[in-house]
Amino acid sequence: MLLAAILLMGSLIGNPALPNPGSPAVVPAEMRGVYAVTRHPMKWAFALWGLRHIAIYPVRANIILAAAIIILALVGAALQDRKKEALQPDTWPAWESRTSYWPFAAILSCRARLGGFGMHALAGGFVLWLAATRGTHSACRLAGRHLALAPIAPRSIFRMAAPRTSQMAASGHLATTAASPRTADRAVCRRRGGRCNRRRRRAARGSGHGSERHLGRIA
């Protein structure tokens, strides 16, 4: 992502591929900075951005979005070369011969030298990369905190309980519970937090005292 940010910021100044409605863009005399890497630094910045996002988050929706951006950037760069050849037949073929479509191809073939990056490319690219990295990290933390604190809706509770209820009905547990009043009584006592158990103890104690009194009268 740092390389993509440097390519993007470096392409904003002195880029002959940018649209110029007044007159044809002036082609630089020498290949320096990002133009020594590729003559389409902005397009390759978007392509690298898409590849990076596919590698980090390889889900279907993200792959489709990033792949569309990659295809649009690289195919658009190739079509732009053809358009510039037709609009600027005197300058653009010479620019193509000194630069490369693929990154670092001109440097490897000794047609250009690596270096000459301006401060707008290095400093601007570093600031852009840092802001994007911090922003993505903050967004991920905020999303995780929101998911952790989000309450569960009643409908989702019923949806979660529905498979459990169907499983119990299939195995016969619900029929047993409905047929057995004692089991239903126990379930009600569990929900009430054991109050039924205290009532039963009190009733048992009362019945014990009553039986002792009855035996004393008989004696």
CA angle 194, 199, 205 (to 5 degrees): 130
Same domain as 187, residue 122: no
Same domain as 201, residue 110: no
Rg (alpha carbons) of the chain, rounded to whole number: 37
Same domain as 189, residue 106: no
Percent of the chain with pLDDT over 90: 25
Same domain as 32, residue 124: yes
Q: Is residue 30 part of a domain?
A: yes
Domain count for the chain: 2
Q: Is residue 88 part of a domain?
A: yes
Same domain as 122, residue 28: yes
Q: Each residue of 100-157: pLDDT tens digit? A: 999 999 999 888 888 888 888 889 888 988 888 887 666 666 656 554 554 444 444 4
Select the more confidently predicted residue: 204 or 131.
131
Q: Rounded distance, CA 166 to CA 154, Å? A: 18
Query: Which pLDDT score is estimated for 42?
Result: 93
Same domain as 81, residue 19: yes
Range of the domain at 50: 2-131
Q: Is residue 19 part of a domain?
A: yes
Q: Each residue of 162-201: pLDDT tens digit? A: 455 455 555 554 444 444 555 555 655 555 555 556 666 6
Query: Which pLDDT score is estimated for 188?
Result: 53
Q: Rounded distance, CA 98 to CA 37, Å? A: 11
Q: Is residue 153 part of a domain?
A: no
Cβ burial of 189 (10 Å; 0-12, 13-18, 19+) is middle
Report the predicted TM-score, pTM, of the whole model to 2 decimal places. Answer: 0.59
**Mean pLDDT of the region 12-35:** 77
Q: Is residue 161 part of a domain?
A: no
